[in-house]
Amino acid sequence: MRTRAAVLREAPGEWQIEELELDEPKDGELLVEMVASGLCHSDDHYLVGDNTVAQMPLVGGHEGAGIVRKVGPNVTGFEVGDHVLTAFIPACGRCRWCASGKQNLCDNGAIIQIGHQVDGTYRMHTDDGEDVATLALLGTFSEWQVYDQMSLVKIDEDIPLDVACLVACGVQTGYGSATNAADVQTGDVVVVVGVGGVGMNAVQGARDAGAGHIIAVDPVEDKQKWALDFGATESFGSLEEASGRVAELTNGQGADATILTPSLLTNAIIGEGFVSIRKGGTLVVTSVSNETRCGDVPGLNGFMLAMLQKRIQGALYGMQAPREAMPKLLRQYKNGQLKLDELVTKRYTLDEIGQATEDLRAGRNIRGVIVYD
């Protein structure tokens, strides 16, 4: 069948809307009519070339929601008409990680930056017969898409898909960065660095975990202001500006936890974050850095790491299993405990994805969402 999708042909580059040929779902796969897809900053990392996939052209997008329209052979647990979210880490259910409830670390995560499906073939093709890669086995920037059953999470049908889609990445990732990775406790002083689509949900997670003070840090003034509506108690433009207040609140010791969710992770931000936490405190690293840029982290003193017993915790997908986390987060939304509608700053058509990307880079949105016709 035919579908229209946002395609990246070279990085750095921009999304181009192209008509592609989409195969029938194969063994263990489903055809999904997409309803909405959020724009996460991780998508942009592929445009600018900070992160790469093994093959171009590439259809991007990984924060999607849609409706199952066809079920391929050997699919269990899904029916035509089911409402689904996409998981950017597939879950096989059998590897060591899945078997121990850590589906966010499923061994199939190793292939999400290659571009083909699990069996090594592609479902999307150009009219010239060229195979088209999909990001994270997904590629949600397409009106229609074929997904492996490992990559889909079924959700209740009474939740609007154009807000539910945000749970597929930003909400689960941010919320779990606070509740799991930072393990925020009642009364804690928590700093969230970068309050966009992911960080705003770290604020929500910290709020629900009972944090005493939640300090939002973002250079964009609107973000500083919006964070207060999601549970932040104060906002600052930089970690440096926030440091005086953190010291004041903690008798000079530092934050119980600092959660790093800025657009792009740099070594300087890791160093500043490390210095900002108290002894025994936790620095959560959720943001993604340029894949190849490594080297010294200024301020990361190995002696202090051991002697002050600080913890640096990387966090993938909020350290939660998507099939457990997504329905729970959506239940909180239905109960009025979790803000999702307010996360969507602006809706776009697929053809407006260039504008949506520009707005993401300029920090104009908490989240921009592509809504399909």
Ligand X SMILES: NC(=O)c1ccc[n+]([C@@H]2O[C@H](COP(=O)([O-])OP(=O)(O)OC[C@H]3O[C@@H](n4cnc5c(N)ncnc54)[C@H](O)[C@@H]3O)[C@@H](O)[C@H]2O)c1
**Other C-beta atoms within 10 Å of 33: how many?**
14
Residues 265-284 touching ligand X, rule: CB under 6 A, are 265, 269
106 binds, among Zn ion, ligand X, none (CB under 5 to 8 A by kind): Zn ion
360 binds ligand X (CB under 6 A): yes
The SS3 call for residue 253 is coil
Cβ distance to ligand X smaller for residue 72 or 196 = 196
Question: In the chain, where do the E strands start and end?
Answer: 2-8, 16-22, 29-38, 58-59, 63-71, 83-86, 124-125, 131-134, 144-148, 152-155, 189-193, 213-217, 234-236, 255-260, 277-285, 311-314, 344-348, 367-371
Please identify which residue in 57, 64, 194, 273 interacts with ligand X, judged by CB under 6 A: 194
Question: How would you class 1 by CB atoms within 10 Å of its CB: exposed for 0-12, middle for 13-18, buried for 19 or more?
Answer: exposed
Residues 33-62 touching ligand X, rule: CB under 6 A, are 40-42, 45
| Alpha-carbon span 312 to 281, nearest angstrom | 9
89 binds, among Zn ion, ligand X, none (CB under 5 to 8 A by kind): none
159 binds ligand X (CB under 6 A): no
Q: At closest approach, how far in Å is the CB of 370 from ligand X?
A: 14
| Residue owning tokens 């993938």 | 316
DSSP H or E stretch at residue 335:
none
Residues 150, 151, 156, 158, Cα dihedral to 10° = -150
Please identify which residue in 86, 261, 332, 357 interacts with ligand X, judged by CB under 6 A: 261
Binding site for Zn ion (CB under 5 A): 40, 42, 92, 95, 98, 106, 169
Binding part of the chain for ligand X, among 75-83, 195-203, 204-212, 351-359 by CB under 6 A, reads 195-203
287 binds ligand X (CB under 6 A): yes
Cβ distance to ligand X smaller for residue 42 or 282 = 42
Q: At closest approach, how far in Å is the CB of 109 from ligand X?
A: 10
Number of residues near ligand X (by CB under 6 A): 33
